[in-house]
A and B are shown apart, each in its own frame.
Chain A
């Protein structure tokens, strides 16, 4: 299967996704904000619909609209300090509303299903280069902001006292989340994208390590999840997104069982 161009593209894209998603996901999970992935993946569907309607690259459309929604979530945090989950509902409603309206209008001459469930067949060369570009920029930004992000997640007040520009970095981070979501959408699909953001991190957290070790293990689990998901879904002839989500859950369960056995013996 590796001789097929589409499979080569899918593998390259998957490698980048498996690094980027847990790098973003660890901060979201630790800030109790993992559902933002779900909201923004729906926002990306609206972005894809707008991109397709405007005859532009759908990944670019997803990135632009998801970034706007990420910044909107950050902006609304000022107004709904005690109800942050409500913000996600507001942005989700807006995004799903736009997506359904455009898709149902019949003005899109492309198949939106592949974005819902993920598809390895639809990853074009252009998509691949966009994914590589966005992933590299995002990972470099995360390396540069590592200590700031770590402290904003762990102790925002201490970060503020140390001179970290918390608000600005939160906005930058929301764009990084948007980037992770839009690059993942082709392979994983809208419906299970949050699993790629949260589950490898949830699995790594079970190991009880420090932050850096947890981040490294998240990336390792993410690579295992997405590669297994990709190869097995190819042979089973099912959508890679759904099957990757199943692999993520299976790996988490295996780690939980291993952890339990370790305490017994």
Chain B
């Protein structure tokens, strides 16, 4: 689904590189959590996968036909914008040229957000707005879902609901998930693989291996 080949990247285009000859492959149907210290390049990796930015060297190939994206809530502080939950989803449906109008209602029901359709997005809690953004990301029935720190600013109960939902759509619908994570427990218990970034390099491992490595590092 996503493959990096000899990937180099720095924002200036010059060394030191955030990604220094990085190679990895994420197969269809995987749930990969991207972990690492602050500033190691997790969000930059998402931006490269989504083609918001171009690699300095090498390439990153994404074979997904349809991508759903849930941005980091800290980046997405557009809380004063006058827009209702229904407008967010319905406008996105039209952009994706999805003809079935019921998909908005269906996705809101799926996330347990039907009663908030007419609420302003800026009036929702962190967990509620995250659920709306997930409902939006699932609008075009994506084969790849990319999330940037889905639990940031979200209360514990909503976190549990969101992770249970993500695990369900990954295991039952086979949607590939790549999620930048700070939440170790969520990453270990939900992911099929963890991609650990450090010092410009990265490696894929199983959640069990990652947990053992984590304990050793401490």
Contact = CB atoms under 8 A, between A and B. Distances in A.
Interface of A: 30, 147-148, 150-151, 153-155, 157-164, 205, 208-214
CB-based closest 8 A-B pairs? A210-B84, A162-B95, A214-B82, A147-B91, A147-B94, A211-B83, A161-B69, A150-B91
Interface in B35-90: 50, 52, 67-69, 71, 76, 78, 81-84, 86-88
B83 A154 contact: yes
A180 B122 CA distance: 30
B82 A211 contact: yes
Given A157-B52, A162-B92, A210 B82 contact: yes
A158 B69 contact: yes
A211 B52 contact: no
Main secondary structure of the interface of B (DSSP, over half): mixed
A220 to B, nearest CB: 15
Given A151-B92, A159-B95, A163-B95, A210 B120 contact: yes
Given A157-B50, A210-B87, A205 B95 contact: no
Contacts, number: 62
Contacts of A214: 82
B96 interface: yes
B48 to A, nearest CB: 13
10 contacts: A30-B81, A30-B82, A148-B95, A150-B87, A153-B81, A161-B67, A208-B120, A209-B120, A211-B83, A213-B82
Given A161-B67, A161-B69, A210-B87, A154 B95 contact: no
A160 B146 CA distance: 14
A162 B96 contact: yes
Contacts of B88: 154
B52 A147 contact: no
Contacts of A209: 82, 120
B214 to A, nearest CB: 31
Given A210-B87, A212-B87, A158 B136 contact: yes
Contacts of B68: 161
Residue of B92, B96, B120, B140 ringed by the most chain A CB atoms within 10 A: B92
B96 A155 contact: no
B78 A155 contact: yes
Contacts of B94: 147
Contacts of A153: 81
A154 B132 CA distance: 14
A262 B56 CA distance: 56
Task: Kindly name the residue among B91, B136, B140 whose own CB sees the greatest number of chain A CB atoms within 10 A.
Answer: B91
Given A147-B94, A154-B88, A157-B69, 16 more contacts: A30-B82, A150-B87, A150-B91, A154-B83, A157-B71, A158-B69, A158-B71, A159-B95, A161-B68, A161-B69, A162-B92, A162-B96, A163-B95, A210-B86, A210-B118, A211-B87
Given A159-B95, A160-B52, A208 B136 contact: no
A213 B50 CA distance: 33
Q: Which of B68, B88, B120, B140 has the most CB of A within 10 A?
A: B88
Contact of B82 (A155, A160, A161, A205): A205
**In this complex, which of A148, A151, A155, A161 has the most chain B Cβ atoms within 10 angstroms of its Cβ?**
A161
Contacts of A164: 95
A64 B118 CA distance: 42
Contacts of A211: 81-84, 87
Interface centre among A150, A212, A213 (most CB of B within 10 A): A150
